[in-house]
Amino acid sequence: MPETMEISDAAKSGDGTTTNVGIKMTGTFQCPECRQKFDSEKAKQLHWKFIHDPNRSRIVAELSLVSTLSS
């Protein structure tokens, strides 16, 4: 195991305050639904698709319900 771990700038978040824990502060593409920022439009779109898209959430919930009922 290495003595020091190198963390890329893309993986860093926050600014040392508890308010911004987990929030990427250097991103230029702001999510319209939350405080998260991204380095590219594509990254922002993928975030929105998997975190905020109401249609996707409905599908996941329905699949979960079907799975539960079939058990």
**Structure-block tokens of residue 70:** 């079939």
The pLDDT of residue 20 is 86
The pTM of the full predicted model, rounded to 2 decimals, is 0.62
In Å, how far are 9, 11, 22, 39 from 17, measured between CA atoms? Answer: 18, 17, 10, 21
Tokens of 26: 């250097």
Listed by start position, the domains of the chain span 9-52
Spatial separation of the C-alpha atoms in residues 12 and 8, rounded to whole Å: 7
CA nearest neighbour of 40 among 19, 58, 61, 26: 26
pLDDT at residue 57 in the model: 63
Q: What is the pLDDT of residues 12-58, one digit of tens each?
A: 788 889 888 888 888 899 999 999 999 999 999 999 998 898 887 66
